[in-house]
Chain A
Amino acid sequence: MKLILTTALFFWFGLCHAQVKISGKITDNKNRPLSGASIQLKDTYDGATSDSLGNYSFISDEKGVKDLEVSISGYNPVTLKITLENVPVSFNIALKEQITELKAVVISAGTFEASDKAKGAVLNSLDVVTTPSANGDITSAFKSLPGTQQVGESEGLFVRGGSATESKIFIDGSLVNNFFYSSTPGIATRGRFNPFLFKGTVFSTGGYSALYGQALSSALILESVDFPDRSEADLSISVVGIGGGIQKLAKNKKSSWGVSFNHTNLWLAFNVIKQRQDYYKVPVANQGDFNFRIRTKGGGMVKYYGYISQNSTAFRVNDIDSTVLKNAFSLDNINIYHNLSWKERLGKGWRLNVSGSFSTNKDDMANEMQDAANQKVIISTPDFYAFKNFNLQSRGTYANGKLLFEKKFNGMNAVRFGADYFYSNEKSTYTLYDGSKYDEKVGDKMVAGFAETDVYLTNNLAAKLGGRIEHSSLMNKWNIAPRASLAYKTGYNTQVSFAYGIFYQNPERRILPGVAGLDFSKASHYILQFIKQTKDYTFRTELFHKEYDRLYKTGFGNNGREVAANTNGTGYAKGVELFWRDKKTIKNVDYWFSYSYLDTKRDHLNFPGRITPSFAATHTASFVFKRFVLPWKTGFNFSYNFATGRPYYRIAYDNTQNKYAITDEGRTINYNNFSFSVNYLPGLGKQNAKAFSVFVLGINNVLGQDQVFTYNYNNNGSRKEAVGPPSRRFVFIGCFISFGTDRTQEAINNNL
């Protein structure tokens, strides 16, 4: 009895454990085999991994209805209910590819991204600052990319036939009103922001997202850094000034704060390097800034950055209308800026971004005629002399806020919508030679609403569709701007993109207050792009066409100033651009090459008709070359910028015909600038060093090539004078020391 029972038990046991073979093939939707997929009977050890032909097979003791789970990264997992009996079974399973950032096409027409992480980025954060011709200025780095002009006489980005006022700059979603130091005649000023403040940059040369507006040509979108890697202090000493700061990271790494102070003084540099202008007050700037960043409980982030900056300068140049008199210009500026932003995850794929900025700007400018002894002289006849003696005091208050909701769906699809509010209030007092004062006030309150959706049909085809609506109190008008981009992946590393959009902009401050009833000026963009990108090289080409409508024409205001008179101006810009970057062909060398062809004409301001504006060169090219020599602990960077000559005009009012006419015109010589910089890092690799230092030498226009940006005319047009850089070359020497951590990379970043 016992024996029978035991035998039966064993038999039953054995039956139970009869093994069955499960096999099949794993493929994608298009029946291509997938290797490396994991196949598993749920809650058992039984399973297999598919081989290079997608085949799998395993044996199992399991019986009955079971879950067969198949998974491989990049594909949606599948669970199959299967019934196991005593006969071998076979299951062929097709998996659907997930739409993932890694594989999906990038909607990129019109944009350059500088980032360490974003796919499709053409530059990384280091490149922005190690390009020698840029001299550590963020916007200047983008002048080594196609689409931008090599304009040296004034600041800003001149993109695809657009003027600098057609490019707007945004930090963490908020518009920055005084990104550059206040303009000085004939000298480009630098941006106020240290490149090290930002971790990612999107530079759009057209067709940008509906989240942004008020820029006819270009948007530069900057994203500030999160937490510092650790607490640290730093110090800088250079020929242009001194600075220092600390960054403190909380122990739990959930908050940080920092302060820094910089004193810029060009006394030494200007004494060694002769300037074209006679500075009777060398440029001096003092800036103190403060920041804090807090990680919220929900995993969001609150960031604040703010500064107070003061600067002053005064210089004289020979007056163009006389042989003995001088023109003396002085500027005092105080600028205060605050930017606060809050990003939060709201759950279920929703995100909230709230950002706001508040700034004030105070400019006190004076211009006067001086005699040989540098004493002020007032000459009231002819009256154009009289107008050279004036004071201009301007006070501006700016605020803007942005509210953005984003909902992410499966497969990278997303919807974004929100609203913008812009406030500006600018007052100015213009005092003439005879003491007569003209007060002006220009204010605007603008509201905007926007919505945008990212639609990924497959990994190969995606679209971004959006729209923006704006109302400006200045003009009391509405506008509606549609935007659309499409991207199609044509191969493993190639893609084609197209972008279309309408963009509106208010008149620039310089020509306000204008006549009543003005409308927004308008630009329509059409961009076609092709990109081939691997980890070692990038080839990118774009064709674009831009149509301008309702550009502002100017007339004379009541104090003789040029003001907006109507919106009868028109224009166009079209061209082709190439970009090539190669990190592999030459060992240890990274170089890139940009070329732009531009055909543009416009009728705006006081132009007598459609002409190529003086800020547009037909051919522009740049070449940047970088090499780090490890044994020498030294990096070498070279850049060469070239542009064909730009047109220049003397436009004067013809009293006999009652209109503006061109009385003289020409073309400048070609622009050439060869710059280089060297970074030496003596402490590189020293373990546990307490301080880390970097020495930098940078020379702009090494070969001393002649550079003419444009020409200035005297009052009657009988004489013209070339406008060039303030000095033929500029040499920068500096030392940067940081305490607390090895900041090699950052030190390189910080100074160029």
Chain B
Amino acid sequence: MKKLLLIAGGCFVMLSSFAQSEKFTAAMKKNLAELDSAFKNPAYLLTLANNFERIASAEKTQWLPYYYAAFCQVNNGFMEKDKSKIDAIADKATELINKADSLSPGNSEISCIKSMIASCHMMVNPMQRWQEYGAVSNENMEAAMKQDPANPRPFYLKGQGLKYTPEQFGGGCKTAVPVLETALEKFTAFKPASELHPNWGKEIAQQIVDGCK
């Protein structure tokens, strides 16, 4: 009996710690599965951002939920039509990505989000802000390439940025496509560290390249 209780007790402890990581993975997967549909509905993007933030603040030591919370926030910022609200959203994304950064310093994926946040700030008034935020965005993009040369996302971001830069400023399809093709090669070779790790961008990169043809 004693033995049995011990086994049961032991099982329970094991179960609960196993359940914890199981629970984390399950919760993350559930929210990640909804990312695609969220892009069609900006309001839901904020809900997902909050979901990830809740997981992050409960877990405290995982960088991924902070990363995805920031990712959802910055995309929410890109989709926001009222430009007066964008800075506050980007600031929120910065707060989240800084937490991810302190848990996983020098991470190429995190640098990508930082680059996106700077671009988001820049969008509020590109003429006035490109000098300041354009530089921050570039810096982080370059840092991301250095931190992990195999990561396709900084190349995708660079290509995307070029696509939406006016031709007179050295942008447009002509300069964007070669960079995006490099990104696509890297996407093909890229294996995420786990099913929870960042693995987005390939479809949009392909769409831009196709759109340029």
Contact = CB atoms under 8 A, between A and B. Distances in A.
Note whether A and B form a binding pair. yes
A561 B88 CA distance: 62
A590 B165 CA distance: 21
Given A73-B91, A684-B168, 11 more contacts: A5-B4, A5-B8, A36-B46, A38-B53, A38-B54, A45-B23, A74-B88, A116-B129, A229-B132, A230-B135, A685-B167
A2 interface: yes
Identify the 5 closest CB pairs spanning chains A and B, nearest first.
A685-B169, A685-B170, A38-B50, A49-B47, A49-B50
Nearest to B53: A38
Interface in B127-141: 128-132, 135
A interface, over-half SS: loop
Interface string A680-697: 000011110000000000
Contacts of B167: 685
A47 B46 contact: no
A144 to B, nearest CB: 19
A535 interface: yes
Question: For this complex, into which size category does the number of interface residues on chain A fall?
Answer: 35 or more
A44 B8 CA distance: 25
Interface string A496-530: 00000000000000000000000000000000000
A633 interface: yes
A43 B58 contact: yes
B166 interface: yes
A9 interface: yes
Given A2-B4, A229-B131, A687-B175, A631 B58 contact: no
A40 B69 CA distance: 15
Contact of B170 (A1, A52, A116, A686): A686
B83 interface: yes
A323 interface: no
Interface string A43-55: 1111111001000
Contacts of A74: 88
A46 B54 contact: yes
A47 B169 contact: no
B40 to A, nearest CB: 17
A130 B51 CA distance: 48
A73 B132 CA distance: 25
Nearest to A6: B8
A230 B136 CA distance: 12
B23 A535 contact: no
A630 B166 contact: yes
A7 B27 CA distance: 28
Interface of A: 1-2, 5-6, 9, 35-36, 38, 40, 43-49, 52, 73-74, 102, 116, 124, 126, 229-230, 535, 630-631, 633, 684-687, 745-746
B165 to A, nearest CB: 8
Contacts of B182: none
A706 B165 CA distance: 46
Nearest to B26: A45
A745 B55 CA distance: 44
Interface in B53-88: 53-55, 57-58, 83-84, 87-88
A38 to B, nearest CB: 4
Contact of A102 (B8, B88, B175): B88
B27 A685 contact: no
Contact of A126 (B4, B47, B128): B128
B161 interface: no
A229 B58 contact: no
Question: For this complex, into which size category does the number of interface residues on chain B fall?
Answer: 35 or more
17 contacts: A2-B4, A5-B4, A36-B46, A43-B58, A49-B47, A49-B50, A52-B43, A73-B91, A74-B88, A124-B128, A535-B84, A685-B168, A685-B170, A686-B170, A687-B170, A745-B131, A746-B131
A40 B56 CA distance: 12
Contact of A44 (B58, B92, B128): B58
A685 B166 contact: yes
Interface string B1-30: 100100010001000000000010001000
A508 B175 CA distance: 62
A46 B51 CA distance: 8
Contacts of A126: 128
A740 to B, nearest CB: 13
Interface in B108-147: 128-132, 135
B198 interface: no
Contacts of A47: 50-51, 54
A93 to B, nearest CB: 15
A124 B57 CA distance: 40
A630 B168 CA distance: 7
B171 A685 contact: yes
A631 B167 CA distance: 9
Contacts of B130: 745
B37 to A, nearest CB: 15
A45 B54 contact: yes
Contacts of A48: 47, 50
A684 B167 CA distance: 10
Contacts of B129: 116
Contact of A229 (B1, B55, B57, B135): B135
Contacts of B43: 35-36, 52
A46 B8 CA distance: 28
Contacts of A2: 4
B163 to A, nearest CB: 14
A52 B130 CA distance: 34
A40 B92 contact: no
Nearest to A742: B131
A45 B128 contact: no
A742 to B, nearest CB: 9
